[in-house]
A and B are shown apart, each in its own frame.
Chain A
Amino acid sequence: MRRDSGGPPAINPFLVPGWEESPLRPLCPWRYESHDELYVDVNHTLAAFQEYTRRMAAVENLREDGRLVLVTGESGCGKTALINRCARWTRDRLTERGLRGVVVDLTRDGSRQSVEERMGLVAARLLDELAHSALLAPEALASLDSVRPSRLYAGLGNALPDDVVLIVLLPPADEVVQEVVAYAGLARRRLLFFAESSYLGHAQVLKVRDSSPVPPITLAVGPLNQGDVRRFIEDRLTRHHERGHYPRISTETMDKAAGPLRSIAMLQRILSEVYEERGKQDSGYTDDDWVTYEDITRLFYEKFFDDLRIRR
């Protein structure tokens, strides 16, 4: 990004401060407090979040009854960001009630294995994390090591300190209903599981609900609605105004971009890269300059046909 001499810096308003190198990472307020403010109400995520807070109002009950939360929606719709927000909220509410919510992020510990293998791997990784955070006494760890997931999760509630509730973020579950149902059954006392899937449709979610001994809280993140794109762009263009300068986008362009940019991930990716590209060119990067719809379509074309260019 160019920096004009003297004045405020030229910045990319679509990058999260501190995460400039990874524009597609979902917001994570349980790890970075400042992210909590960056949520924009798109894709029904606010409604889903509110539904979660309503259902979990008596969060202290987790000490006795665990729960699974299943978030579904197509790729790039913001499922992980919603889960991170819910995890943060849960941890804060537990703190308010004199309890400790410990978030264990195992979202990257999935692989193309059978359910049994995947669950075994998750269980082993959970124990690693608990050992690392010294939440379990060595003898408790030793007694739980290598036991089957069903025994592990049943025994974990007793082995954890009295004030601790584990908030476990599970790896994506694809379309395997069986795995989600298994976790719904394993969510025993002091355990809150978050699972997400891009491939479970409405029918399969109903199947999960019907098959689970304790039905999970299910949250669906939908597609972008009318006005979502404009709301998101306006938020980003307004929010960072004091940090630096950058070109503007007309409301007409925003509304036009709502046609092709159909998910929050796509919106975030294309606009952040349009601004990056613009920053490298000499076509103006001041508050008086404009990013046009043509800038967006050009970048889309170049990215989309990237391998075609390579082949040629």
Chain B
Amino acid sequence: MTKTTIRVNRDIQAEKRERAAAFREKLSRQGTLVLNLVSSPGTGKTALLEAIAKELKGRLRMGVLVGDLATDRDAQRLAPLIPVEQLTTGGACHLEISLVEQGWQKLGEPELDILFIENIGNLVCPASHDLGEHMRVSLLSTTEGDDKPGKYPKMFRTSDALVLTKIDLLPYLPFRVEAAIEDARLIQPDLDIFHTSAITTEGIPDWCEYLEQQRQKLVASVQTS
């Protein structure tokens, strides 16, 4: 018997990250901006997508991959507005690149300007998984409480934008907008922050304009490279 220690020193997710990077690269080349929407359950990811689909109708070509543990309720809600494919994880607490690749194939790999991936409602596990997105967008609703960013540092640290949702409810809640933003910026100073209500559509035009700009930036960066 010979005892040997083999030095590996590698991120165990390296292979998945490479697959995610390849997906990102593929969609970059065809000018599709990929957004990974993450939040707690009930923050309003689907409602935000409905509002975006209505606002950007006729302006951008969009598609959605929506993840849930069970049911295709979100896909049914979104289908009248936007091409959508439901990813049902059967219990897994997060999406992974393999599910995204499958969903993208099922969607028919259409020519899109923006592909939204609505992740499983969970502020923990999805933070550790690269889905091939260009941007990670965290949603935080006024009904959740303003102390959430500090409690889930990885999610907010790995996000590029923060969308506050349900701001129409602010008059009825103790949610302090400034405290939430300060908490989030301590973790990720570069966050682009938006205030929205999918019900009243307040803030939706600004958010959608930002999405258009981000998509244009991607196209410009692909052309120059």
Q: Do A and B originate from a single complex?
A: no
Q: Which residues of A contact B (CB under 8 A)?
A: none
Q: Which residues of B contact A (CB under 8 A)?
A: none
